[in-house]
């Protein structure tokens, strides 16, 4: 039995259906590795001093529990059998640096960013509130002007450390011009 014999009249191809098929074909496939690359690039955008600060602020218990579920290879290489007292900020920094930068483990980079945002939830929530003043749909924002960036930083500076504000801007991909960081956070960039 051929396909035409088995087809119903409702399944017949109409001229109106052809453009829809063409539109579907032109949609670019989603790049699953883009988030991983963005997370690694964000962590590389931090100076060694600020990267160490980020790693020290990550809460170990939830981080290790999530790492055990999401990236078993890294967990077994670096944390399985290690006494919890030996796992501190510098140890975590070495692991994240090695796995994210040398082995390009984007999952670990995303997990580090997520856990830092969770640990610094007040700053993250305040940052979201300020960015939403520009546009409620934060993903639709393509660029933030220097004036808008300054307004966000000024609002956050009243209750947060400038180092943490800079970290939050970089790891969360706030869409400001790269020159903004050099002007606003001159002592932290590098």
- State the pLDDT at residue 35: 87
Among 119, 147, 173, where does a domain finish?
119
Query: Are residue 40 and residue 89 in the same domain, yes or no?
Result: yes
Q: Dihedral (C-alpha) 167, 170, 173, 174: value to the nearest 10 degrees? A: 80
Looking at the chain, the whole-number percentage of residues with pLDDT higher than 70 is: 83
Distances in Å between the alpha carbon of 24 and those of 20, 32, 34, 121, 157? 6, 19, 21, 39, 46
Query: Are residue 151 and residue 108 in the same domain, yes or no?
Result: no
Angle, vertex CA 52, rays to CA 82 and CA 37, nearest 5: 90
Query: Are residue 127 and residue 137 in the same domain, yes or no?
Result: yes
Query: Are residue 40 and residue 94 in the same domain, yes or no?
Result: yes
Among 119, 139, 160, where does a domain finish?
119
- State the pLDDT at residue 104: 95
- State the pLDDT at residue 28: 36
Query: Are residue 112 and residue 154 in the same domain, yes or no?
Result: no
Q: How confident is the model at residue 140 (pLDDT cuts 50, 70, 90)?
A: confident
For the chain, what is the domain count? Answer: 2
Among 119, 138, 165, where does a domain finish?
119
Domain span including residue 143 = 121-190
Q: Which residue would you say has higher pLDDT here, 190 or 133?
A: 133
Residue 151: pLDDT above 90?
A: yes
């Amino acid at each position: 039995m051929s396909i035409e014999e088995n087809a119903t009249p409702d399944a017949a191809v109409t001229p109106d259906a052809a453009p829809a098929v063409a539109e579907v074909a032109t949609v670019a496939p989603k790049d699953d590795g883009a988030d991983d690359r963005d997370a690694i690039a964000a962590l590389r955008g931090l100076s060694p001093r600020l990267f160490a600060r980020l790693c020290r602020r990550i809460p170990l218990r939830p981080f290790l529990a999530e790492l055990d579920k999401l990236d078993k290879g890294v967990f077994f290489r670096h944390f399985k059998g290690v006494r919890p007292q030996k796992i501190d900020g510098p140890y975590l920094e070495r692991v994240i640096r090695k796995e994210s930068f040398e082995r390009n483990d984007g999952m670990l980079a995303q997990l580090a960013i997520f856990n830092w945002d969770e640990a610094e939830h007040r700053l993250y929530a305040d940052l979201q509130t300020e960015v939403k003043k520009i546009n409620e749909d934060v993903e639709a924002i393509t660029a933030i002007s220097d004036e808008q960036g300054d307004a966000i930083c000024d609002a956050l500076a009243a209750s947060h450390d400038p180092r943490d504000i800079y970290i939050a801007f970089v790891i969360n991909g706030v869409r400001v011009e790269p020159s903004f960081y050099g002007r606003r956070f001159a002592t932290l960039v590098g």
